[in-house]
């Protein structure tokens, strides 16, 4: 009777923690938990993580187990409950910032000093970074340094304002922590980051920044290169050839000679003959030297602009604003490019360092890339649309040729010289020469 009660209690605890039977059994096995275990050793916890990640998960172990930082063990019940909550429901930025502050109760009160918040931010972001790439750490020698540097403009006046800013700009990044814990401690599949794009702009840190901005990018499959000026040719026509008709979200990425990185995401990539298109899912961003995320704030309709055919309207690519006064503009010659601080479509914020009192901040394009983020379905839809357009053009070309030879009158009026030249070319060369002599 006692044994049955014990089993029922264990099942009740497992269900409370939120683990499946298989996950709970694997968690107990990896943490060396037995029916008599009251506490879990830190060493049994950290050994399931790569060496470079262990210093970051040690404070997390204490936080989840409700112990002071530096403790070598934690109560099994508290740790299992904390792990279950994070793995199943995720962890917030506020919680991650609290991990490195001692004691935890003091963090929940206002008045945390800015230098302490800066350190907490660096450690929390580094934890997220290494959790996101913990199976391929050798790919990036600089580690999370560029990612951390991009957050230099985050507000440091309070824990609340900093965590709110992070939730608004990088809401998905903490999910890397939950995924890493699940894979390391319960053996679940977790979320595997897709391969890094072959890009001259994106590296591990900037790619992770972009993916963390929205759930759609975080969950997207490997990105497809639609256009890269360094291998597809530096021209607007080459960009159109690669990006037109893409049926899904795609990123326009720009890098300046100074190393600044900015761009925008559009859900529509069609030539609208001098008119705006897109949806509220379009947004603008800057990744270097500091992060800026400008989401849509209205339904004005002026989300995305692409024009190559209408010679009476600006030719190029733009986001927001209005014709000749775009929020972000790249002209068809890739020379007249600029950004504005604000417009009626997207939230305010500089995509490049401010140019003083100038209304527009011009910039030069050193590298330009377009990446499709819609997966295989979007790529297949683009190919199908291209085939339809090519078919219509071919049919139109055949019709035009047929009309030229529609009747004898058209042949005589439109192609008289052509047929005469063709007939002359078939004459005997000697006769032609004799005719010239007689003349």
Residues 148, 230, single domain; the answer is no
CA distance 386 to 373: 18
CA distance 246 to 239: 12
E strand segments, 154-212: none
User: pTM above 0.85?
Assistant: no
Residues 92, 153, single domain; the answer is yes
**Domain CATH number, residue 158:** 1.10.238
Domain hosting residue 72, numbered range = 11-186
User: % helix / strand / coil in the chain, to the nearest 5?
Assistant: 45, 15, 40
Average pLDDT, the chain: 86
Residue 370 DSSP label: E
Each residue of 204-224: pLDDT tens digit? 889 999 999 999 999 999 999
Structure tokens at 98: 């609290």
Q: What is the pLDDT of residue 364?
A: 96
Q: What is the pLDDT of residue 359?
A: 82
pLDDT, average across residues 425-434: 51
Cis peptide before 103 (omega within 30 of 0): yes
Tell which residue, 177, 234, 229, has the closest CA to residue 370: 229
Residues 263, 229, single domain; the answer is yes
Residues 377, 409, single domain; the answer is no
Per-residue pLDDT for 45 more than 70?
A: yes
238 within some domain: yes
The count of domains in the chain is 3
Residues 426, 360, single domain; the answer is no
Residues 169, 264, single domain; the answer is no
16 within some domain: yes
Residues 73, 178, single domain; the answer is yes
Each residue of 223-282: pLDDT tens digit? 999 999 999 999 999 999 999 999 999 999 999 999 999 999 999 999 999 999 999 999
Neighbours of 311 (CB within 10 A): 8
422 within some domain: yes
Rank 120-129, 403-412, 417-426 by mean pLDDT and report only the highest: 120-129
Side-chain-facing half-sphere of 439: CA atoms under 13 Å: 6
Q: What is the pLDDT of residue 188?
A: 87
111 within some domain: yes
Q: What is the pLDDT of residue 134?
A: 76
Q: Name which of 45-49, 80-84, 120-124, 134-138 the model is least confident about.
A: 134-138
Q: What is the pLDDT of residue 35?
A: 85
Residues 375, 417, single domain; the answer is no
205 within some domain: no
203 within some domain: no
Residues 275, 342, single domain; the answer is yes
pLDDT, average across residues 87-115: 73
Residues 159, 287, single domain; the answer is no
Residues 131, 179, single domain; the answer is yes
Q: Of 186, 202, 231, which residue sits at a domain end?
A: 186
Residues 142, 19, single domain; the answer is yes
User: Does 431 or 269 have the greater pLDDT score?
Assistant: 269
Q: What is the pLDDT of residue 324?
A: 92
Percent of the chain with pLDDT over 70: 81
């Amino acid at each position: 009777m006692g044994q049955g009660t014990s089993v029922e209690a264990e099942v009740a605890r497992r269900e409370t923690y939120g683990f499946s039977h298989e996950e709970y059994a694997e968690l107990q096995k990896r943490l060396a938990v037995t029916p008599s275990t009251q506490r879990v050793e830190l060493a049994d916890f950290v050994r399931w993580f790569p060496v470079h990640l262990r210093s970051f998960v040690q404070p997390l172990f204490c936080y989840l187990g409700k112990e002071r930082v530096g403790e070598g063990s934690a109560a099994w019940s508290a740790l299992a409950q904390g792990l279950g909550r994070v793995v199943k429901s995720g962890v917030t930025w506020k919680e991650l910032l609290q991990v490195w502050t001692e004691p935890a109760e003091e963090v929940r009160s206002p008045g945390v000093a800015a230098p302490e918040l800066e350190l907490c931010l660096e450690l929390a972001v580094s934890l997220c970074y290494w959790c996101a790439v913990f199976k391929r750490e050798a790919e990036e020698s600089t580690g999370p340094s560029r990612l951390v540097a991009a957050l230099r403009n985050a507000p440091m006046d309070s824990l609340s304002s900093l965590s709110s800013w992070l939730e608004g700009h990088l809401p998905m990044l903490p999910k890397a922590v939950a995924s890493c814990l699940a894979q390391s401690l319960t053996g679940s599949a977790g979320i595997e980051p897709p391969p890094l794009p072959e890009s001259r702009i994106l590296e591990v840190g900037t790619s992770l920044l972009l993916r963390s901005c929205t759930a759609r990018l975080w969950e997207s499959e490997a990105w497809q290169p639609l256009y890269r000026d360094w291998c597809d040719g530096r021209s607007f026509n080459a960009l159109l050839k690669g990006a037109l008709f893409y049926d899904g979200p795609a990123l326009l990425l720009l890098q300046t000679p100074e190393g600044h990185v900015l761009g925008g995401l559009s859900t529509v990539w069609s030539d609208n003959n001098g008119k705006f298109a897109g949806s509220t899912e379009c947004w603008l961003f800057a990744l270097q030297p500091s992060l800026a995320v400008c989401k849509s704030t209205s339904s004005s309709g002026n989300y995305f602009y692409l024009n190559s055919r209408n010679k009476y309207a600006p030719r190029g690519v733009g986001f927001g604003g209005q014709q000749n006064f775009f929020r972000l503009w790249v002209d068809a010659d890739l020379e007249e490019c600029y950004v504005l601080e604000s417009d009626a479509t997207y939230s305010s914020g500089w995509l490049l360092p401010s140019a003083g009192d100038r209304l527009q901040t011009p910039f030069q394009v050193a590298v330009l890339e377009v990446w499709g983020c819609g997966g295989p379905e979007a790529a297949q839809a683009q190919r199908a649309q291209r085939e339809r357009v090519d078919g219509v053009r071919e049919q139109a070309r055949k019709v035009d040729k047929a009309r030229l030879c529609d009747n004898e009158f058209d042949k005589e009026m439109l192609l008289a010289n052509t047929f005469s030249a063709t007939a002359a070319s078939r004459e005997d060369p000697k006769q032609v020469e004799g005719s010239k002599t007689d003349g």
